[in-house]
Amino acid sequence: MTGLIEIVRQGGCVRVTLQRPEKLNALSHALIAELTGAMAALGAEEDLRCVVLTGAGRAFSAGADVAELSGVTPDTAEAFIRHLHGACRAVRDCPVPVIAAIDGACLGGALEIAASCDLRAATRRSTFAMPEVLIGIPSVIEAALLPRLMGWGRAAELLFTGKTIDAEEAHRAGLIEALAGDDALDETVAGWTDAIRAAGPRAIRSQKALMRRWEQGPVDAAIAAGIDAFRESHGSDEPRQMLHDVLARRGGRRPRGEG
């Protein structure tokens, strides 16, 4: 590790911070490698409940490190972009929800990382863009997720024009799920992390795995996978115990058909 990622644990939820603020957290080869390794290691922790991914300083991330990008050649182009894809894939493969907490610029490859997260919250001063076409290259890898979030038309506008949009437009478009005041990002994200920690940990992991399967196959296959997951969830005591606790908080009322 080179100190480009900070990891802070908060009661089952881990905050992962990109720590290159003097370069607006630009995605250098070393930062990408450290982020990929950190996400893979966290995903192996059985007591992990959720991850919050954010950036230090004035930006979530300005995207690919321009100094490194300018050195890409036909011989190194594939390795360069696969390296960034590895970080996006590590975020998507994390078995618990990953939340992007965005404050400031979220551009290019950084927006692909944010799109790889399960939820996104941003401050009003945040900005978003996929400017690759403006420097002669297409937006690739996890840019493929953008039409699912924004719809094809809005994603096409972002990708074809390279335009920068503000947080309010990103929120209207569905690119982010929550728009927070500039000093209320942590509070907004905490609403999600608290809810996730209150839910059943096995259920949350099962839900995320199902959502990944929903993305990849036809509806009938997704429904069949859900039936399997429901059956498997009852192989542990978690559903019974959590239902018992909910009923106790409601004054001991039993569901219809019980006893």
Whether residues 191 and 203 share a domain: the answer is: no
Q: What is the pLDDT of residues 83-138, one digit of tens each?
A: 999 999 999 999 999 999 999 999 999 999 999 999 999 999 999 999 999 888 99
- Note whether residue 255 is domain-resident: no
Amino acid residing at 220: D
Whether residues 112 and 190 share a domain: the answer is: yes
Given the residues 112, 114, 142, 173, the one annotated as active site: 112
- Note whether residue 192 is domain-resident: yes
Given the residues 34, 90, 109, 143, the one annotated as active site: 109
How many domains are contained in the chain?
Answer: 2
Distance CA 10, CA 7 (A): 10
Q: Domain range for residue 224?
A: 199-249
Whether residues 133 and 17 share a domain: the answer is: yes
**pTM for the full model?**
0.88
- Note whether residue 259 is domain-resident: no
Whether residues 134 and 48 share a domain: the answer is: yes
Q: What is the pLDDT of residues 124-153, one digit of tens each?
A: 999 999 999 988 899 999 999 999 999 999
Whether residues 126 and 33 share a domain: the answer is: yes
Given the residues 26, 56, 62, 64, the one annotated as active site: 64
Whether residues 182 and 215 share a domain: the answer is: no
- Note whether residue 64 is domain-resident: yes
Instruction: Establish whether 45 is a catalytic residue.
Output: no
- Note whether residue 258 is domain-resident: no
Q: What is the pLDDT of residues 205-245, one digit of tens each?
A: 999 999 998 888 776 776 777 678 667 877 888 877 877 88
Whether residues 120 and 176 share a domain: the answer is: yes
Distance CA 170, CA 187 (A): 20
Instruction: Establish whether 34 is a catalytic residue.
Output: no
Instruction: Establish whether 109 is a catalytic residue.
Output: yes
**Looking at 197, 219, 236, which one is the last position of a domain?**
197
Whether residues 120 and 62 share a domain: the answer is: yes
Whether residues 71 and 158 share a domain: the answer is: yes
Whether residues 62 and 95 share a domain: the answer is: yes
- Note whether residue 42 is domain-resident: yes
What is the maximum alpha-carbon separation in the chain? Answer: 71
Residue 151 C-alpha from the chain's centroid: 18
Instruction: Establish whether 132 is a catalytic residue.
Output: yes
Given the residues 59, 122, 132, 178, the one annotated as active site: 132
- Note whether residue 256 is domain-resident: no
CATH no. for residue 120?
3.90.226.10
Average pLDDT over residues 196-213: 95
Whether residues 144 and 237 share a domain: the answer is: no
**Looking at 197, 212, 235, which one is the last position of a domain?**
197
Whether residues 31 and 149 share a domain: the answer is: yes
- Note whether residue 149 is domain-resident: yes
- pLDDT at residue number 258: 46
